[in-house]
Each structure stands twice: as C-alpha cells, then as structure tokens.
Amino acid sequence: MTRPVVTAAGIGPIRTVPNAITVVRTVASVALSVIALQADEPLPWIVAAYLVYYLGDSADGLAARLLGQETRAGAVHDILSDRLCTALCAANLMLLQPDLAVPIAVFLLNFMVVDCLLSLSFLLWPIVSPNYFFVVDPVVYRYNWSHPAKALNNIGIVVAVLVGSLPLALVIVLVQLGVKMASARRTLRRIREHETQP
C-alpha cells in the first residue's frame, strides 16, 4: 500500500457518497434503537439496530475506498457516528440484561472515551483515517483497525449479553480495555516522537 497523505484541500469534501451512507445508517440505527427502548419485545429491534449500524459502517468504508472518496472529514464523521449508534444499542442491551450493567458500562467507557481518543489520534499525522495507522505504528493498527480487530470491537460484548454470561462479559470488556490502554500508551509514545521531530 502506498502512504495516503493529506491533500492540499485539508479535510476533503463533505458531500460524498460514503458520508451520505454514514448519515443514513446512523439515522436508521438510532431510530431502531429508540423503537427498541419503547417496544414490548425489544430484542428484534436491538438486533436490527446493530445490524444496520454494523453493515452500514462496513458499507460506508467500502464505498469510500472503491469510489476514491476517503477523507479526513469522513473518517471523523464515521468515528463519531459509531459512538452514537453504539451508545444507544448498548443502552438497550443494559435494559435487556440489567445484571450485565457493569460490563456494559466498562465497554462504553472504553469505546466512548479511550477508543474514541485513540481513533481520533490519526489526525496528528498526515494520513486520511485510522485505516492507515500502520504507517505510524503497525502494532497499534493490527490490534485496533485491522479487519479482525474491527469485527471484535463490538461483537464480543453483544454475544456475551445475548448469552447472558456475566463472567464472559467481564473477561471480554477487561481484555478489550487492556488492549486499548496498551495501544493508547504506544500511540502516546509515537505522538511524543512526532512532536520532537524537526
């Protein structure tokens, strides 16, 4: 892969197909989550909200790459939209399985704060999105934005909640938090190295 650099345009255009997909999938997932909050049988709505979020998140990224419309603005839009969708879906899961509130809360702390800061750190380098963080740190990239890492980011806690296992949920969220904290430490070292370069 060649190193993607920031163009002279800076953040890139806002009106793109991938950004439109992000808006649609976010609005749809939020709507389904709100319906789930009020439904007598919330599980099908929660599953639908997660599916729309997950498949839409894959679709906007694929469209960005295939159409050559990857932009820094699009990456930030995607990262923030992911947090909104995840927060509402997780709120539903907490209501569905209140005995798993602690691991879900730890997951949210991790995803909404630690992972969000880690994901936005790409803005400190001349790369288009976290998908190219391998040019900064291949290890951090592998454990956070490679295809397997992205797939495991949300699915673990969802499976644990649906299975209803508190020990499994705790193990999953604590391992995820450990990976994110270690990644954040490595990224902080890269930031310090970057700042001291002439």
DSSP 136-180: T-HHHHHHHTSHHHHHHHHHHHHHHHHHT-HHHHHHHHHHHHHHH
The answer for residues whose C-beta is within 8 angstroms of residue 180's C-beta and 6 or more apart is 110, 114, 115, 118, 144
Contact 131, 145 (CB under 8 A): yes
User: What residue numbers bound the domain in which 54 lies?
Assistant: 17-196
Within-domain flag for 143: yes
Q: For residue 76, what are the CA distances in angstroms to 14, 19, 28, 121?
A: 11, 10, 19, 10
Q: Is the pLDDT of residue 117 over 50?
A: yes
**Confidence band (pLDDT; 50, 70, 90) for 8?**
very low
| Residue 1: pLDDT band with limits 50, 70, 90 | very low
Burial class of residue 38, CB neighbours in 10 A (0-12, 13-18, 19+): exposed
- The CATH number linked to 162 is 1.20.120.1760
Quick check: is 74 in a domain? yes
Single pTM value for the model: 0.88
Q: Is residue 165 part of a domain?
A: yes
H or E segment at 98? none
Query: Has residue 9 been placed in a domain?
Result: no
Q: How far is it, in rounded angstroms, from Cα 103 to Cα 101?
A: 6
At 197 the pLDDT is 75
pLDDT class of 198 with cuts at 50, 70, 90 = low
Left, alpha or beta for 51 (phi > 0: left; psi -120 to 50: alpha)? Answer: alpha
**Residue 53 Cα to chain centre, angstroms:** 10
In a domain, 127, yes or no: yes
Domain total in the chain: 1
In a domain, residue 6? The reply is no
> Tell me: the pLDDT tens digits for 68-80?
999 999 999 999 9
